[in-house]
A and B are shown apart, each in its own frame.
Chain A
Amino acid sequence: MFRILKKSLKTGTVTGQYPHTQPLVIRTPGAHKKAAPFKSSLTIREVDTGSCNACEMEMNALTNPVYDVERFGIHIAASPRHADALVVTGPVTVNMEHPLKDVYKQTPHPKLVIALGDCAINCGIFKGSYAVTGPVERHIPVDVRIPGCPPRPVDILEALASIRSLPSPSEE
């Protein structure tokens, strides 16, 4: 018990100890409007449709004490039925095409779809392969794109913050 307390005291607060960057986020015109209901809380369901698993590792990193995504009211749900947003990673493989569409159907309205990483946006290095059916937007409408191979956790954090902030006048 004392050992645990000592360890926690010695470690101190680590949240926020990461280099900040200016990420590139690509939003569709209506994304802000769609994100409006999720200003104070956003529940995410992550779906991997064929990534190399680096994007998954970075999504997992969001929940560590350093990034601690929950402090921004963002939760990761275990089921699409509890989700406000789908985060999709990887090119859509032929074997994952139907599961992806199923998940999209299962997610209640209103919902956001976020394509995370180059593969989800344009199939990346796997483009054209017989086993890949195309980027996410070929199968379901995508609202936000976060490029990178993989995007850093801080990029994902900033991107999520930026879509939930007030829209710029031009996007109204």
Chain B
Amino acid sequence: MTDRLSLEQRMQTAFAGVVAAYPRDGVLQYCLDESRLPEVARFLHQKLQGRLALLFAIDCRPRTQKYEIHYLFALSSGHPWVLLTVELGGSARLFTSITPSVHAAQWYEREIRDLFGLIPHGHPDQRRLVRHEHWPQGLHPLQKTFPWDKVMGRQQGEYRFRHIEGEGVFEVPVGPIHAGIIEPGHFRFSVAGEPIMQLEVRHFYKHRGIEKLFEQCTLSGALPLAERVSGDTTIGHSLAYCQAVESLLHLQIPRRARYLRSFLLELERLHNHIGDVGAICNDTAYTLAHAHCSRMKEQLMQLNDRLAGSRFLRGTMAIGGLTHDVPATQQTEVIDTLNRIEKDFAELESIIFANASLTDRLETTGVLTERTAWDHGAVGVVGRASGIDYDVRRDRPFAAYDEVPVNTVLYRYGDVRARLRVRMDEIHESIRLIREIRQHIPQGPIIAAVDYMPQPGEWGLSAVESWRGEVLYFVMAGDDGHIHRCKVRDPSFVNWPAIQWAAVGNIIPDFPLINKSFNLSYAGNDL
């Protein structure tokens, strides 16, 4: 509470006349005039070290003829979220860009321009982001007047990549279809000889219109969609969606369900992290470690299948709790498997780090400095490998993490090795957490009944530390149980721009390794 007051006081002193509101637990909201926004955003970002966590727009039609733009800042641990809200009424189409002072806003503002047709005035980059150049002009899918199933035509157009010109400088285009079994996206390297001078990421090939599809669903009916935003983060996304809706419905989740949610989230983290450790080794051609890791990952996926009937734990989450219980016998089975895997993995770790040629390849490769990570608001594994000490499980505890605290892993070098180390340490930490959850799990119901019908315009916000990092959901209720707006933010969306800087100075053959160490989702980014 004192934090809240002092934060409010500082805002009051700096900006006379701003009015604070608490629309939701843990959210401090300021409704601002558009002209004051840049200075307030700059103050939050630079003076109070606020990280821009989310920036999104809402088309409030048909209830009111206006757009709202929301800026969500995460301050240091113990502070509530700070939400700045700006309204654009009538026919106004311009809003002031905050990108010049808050770098992390760059993709968000271009996204708003594409999806809503609102123009970020003063944004240094006015190219399209989500809409590729072949989309006809004037189509902005998240406007309420745009039909969700519209069939779009095609036009001619070409994306203008940033060019570096000079003797011996040439460009290497990669993608959208890559050499491995991975998702599509385009990378454009400018190189002089071997080292990369510049990397530009051109994504959104997989844009499936997920946020528009959410708006066609009811609050409870959208859960399968949330599970399929990014398949490898099924629990992360479905849990974040459930929590946002539960906050909207004022639901109290039974304790057992909260414990089981953490249990499942850690299981998801485990199989993904183990797979990533193997994949990083594989990209240095160290296939032995890859074979062992993919074997362990497979064991965990088969365990998931036995627990939930889905190798990705699909269909386990429900609004208010879980769809089915994990009985004690199955918990014991999980613990037995994890005991074996922990020993197995520890042996492999000592083999991996005894290999000098491997560590030589990993060290000082793909360095993302703490400053660059901070400027991009990098989160999750990538952030924690670059000294960004943020973990939703510790800083904004959800599920059972307030009762089963997590030991956050932090490295500062920001290279591939640091990202590998974060994953390895988190594997041990996840196993410890699952054991602890197993010890303390209470008996009781696993789902709470919904007895509240939200008013149109009410909203909920939630953050979950998925295996990749912070997943954010903002859900606003519409008429008769439908969704008016659902903003999804996968950690990949903030980490992709950061990878452009981690690659600079490295050689192209190292890029697959750097990319693997980030291991970002294309599907979660493109939506």
Set of chain B residues within 8 Å of A40, measured between Cβ atoms: none
Q: Which residues of A contact B132 (CB under 8 A)?
A: 94-95
A54–B295 touching, CB < 8 Å: no
A17 to chain B, nearest CB (A): 8
Closest residue of chain B to A98, judged by CB? B134
Contact A90 B179 (CB under 8 A): no
B350 x A3 contact (CB < 8 A): yes
Interchain CB contact under 8 A, B288 and A4: yes
Q: Is the CB of A11 within 8 A of B148?
A: no
Docked Cα-Cα span, A90 to B149, in Å, equals 18
Instruction: Tell me which residues across on chain B come within 8 A of A76, comparing CB atoms.
Output: 181
A96 CB-CB contact with B under 8 Å: yes
Give the complex CA separation of A64 and B210 in angstroms.
32
Bound complex: CA A19 to CA B151 (Å): 43
Contacts of B522 in A (CB 8 A): 53
**Chain A residue nearest to B149 in the complex (CB):** A128
Question: Does any Cβ of A come within 8 Å of B98's Cβ?
Answer: no
Q: Which residue of A lies closest to B527 (CB)?
A: A131
User: C-beta contact mask, A66-89 vs B, less than 8 Å → 1, else 0?
Assistant: 110000000010111000000000
For residue A61, give the distance in angstroms from its CB to the closest CB of chain B: 6
CB of B324 within 8 A of chain A?
no
A53-B523, A55-B231 in contact; A131/B348 too (CB < 8 A)?
no
Residues of B within 8 A of A170 (CB): none
A99 near B181: Cβ-Cβ < 8 Å: no
Residues from chain B with Cβ under 8 Å of A61 in the complex: 294, 297-298, 301
Given A7-B351, A53-B522, the answer on whether A126 and B213 have CB atoms closer than 8 Å is yes
Q: Is the CB of A78 within 8 A of B179?
A: yes
Residue from the set B205, B234, B297, B522 with the largest chain A CB neighbour count within 10 Å: B205
A148 to B232, CA, bound (A): 16
Asked if A56 is at the interface of the complex by the 8 Å CB criterion, the answer is yes
Asked if A130 meets B150 with Cβ closer than 8 Å, knowing A51-B523, A55-B231, A99-B176, the reply is: yes
Question: Which of B182, B204, B295 lies in contact with A65, CB distance below 8 A?
Answer: B295
Task: Name the B residues within 8 Å of A52 (CB-CB).
Answer: 228-231, 523
Q: Is A103's CB under 8 angstroms from B177's CB?
A: yes
Stretch at the interface among A23-31, A41-49, A135-143: A41-49
| A22 proximal to B (CB < 8 A) | no
Q: Which of A53, A80, A94, A131 has the most CB of B within 10 A?
A: A131
A80 — nearest CB in chain B belongs to which residue?
B177
Known: A53-B521, A57-B232, A128-B148. A7 touches B182 (CB 8 A): no
Q: State how many residues of chain A have any CB contact under 8 Å with chain B.
A: 51
A146–B298 Cα distance when bound, in Å, is 21
- Whether the Cβ atoms of B208 and A131 lie closer than 8 Å is yes
Q: Identify B312's interface contact among A7, A48, A132, A150, CB under 8 A.
A: A150
Residues 160 to 198 of chain B near chain A (Cβ within 8 Å): 176-177, 179-184
Q: With an 8 A cutoff between CB atoms, is B207 at the interface?
A: yes
A152 at the interface (CB under 8 A from B): yes
Most-contacted residue by chain B among A63, A126, A130 (CB, 10 A):
A130
A129 touches B149 (CB 8 A): yes
Interface size on B, residues (CB 8 A): 58
Residue among A53, A124, A125, A128 with the highest chain B CB neighbour number at 10 A? A53
Q: Are B177's CB and A99's CB within 8 A?
A: yes
B357 at the interface (CB under 8 A from A): no
Is A64 a contact partner of B225 (Cβ separation < 8 A)?
A: no
Q: Check A48/B231 contact, CB under 8 A, given A93-B208, A95-B206, A130-B141.
A: no
B181 touches A59 (CB 8 A): yes
Q: A2–B204 Cα gap in the complex (Å)?
A: 47
Known interface pairs A65-B294, A78-B179. Does A53 touch B209 (Cβ–Cβ under 8 Å)? Answer: no
Q: Establish whether residues B184 and A126, one from each chain, have CB atoms under 8 Å apart when the complex forms.
A: no
Complex CA distance for A55 and B312, rounded to whole angstroms: 11
B209 to chain A: which residues have CB within 8 Å? 126, 129-132
A162 CB–B CB distance under 8 Å = no
Bound Cα distance A48, B181 (Å)? 8
**Which of these, A4, A59, A130, contacts B149 with CB under 8 Å?**
A130
Which of B204, B225, B301, B302 has most A Cβ within 10 Å? B301
Within 8 A of A (CB), among B127-169: 132, 134-135, 141, 146-152
**Interface positions of A (Cβ within 8 A of B):** 3-4, 7, 11, 14, 18-19, 46-61, 63-67, 76, 78-80, 90-91, 93-96, 99, 103, 124-126, 128-132, 149-150, 152
18 interchain pairs, CB-CB under 8 A: A7-B292, A11-B292, A47-B177, A47-B184, A53-B230, A56-B231, A65-B291, A65-B294, A78-B179, A90-B206, A95-B205, A129-B148, A129-B213, A130-B146, A130-B209, A131-B141, A150-B311, A152-B311
Among all A-B residue pairs, the 5 with the closest Cβ atoms? A54-B231, A64-B294, A78-B179, A131-B209, A52-B231
List 13 extra interface pairs beyond A18-B302, A58-B311, A132-B208, CB under 8 A.
A4-B351, A19-B302, A52-B523, A56-B183, A60-B294, A61-B301, A63-B294, A64-B295, A65-B295, A76-B181, A95-B207, A129-B149, A150-B231
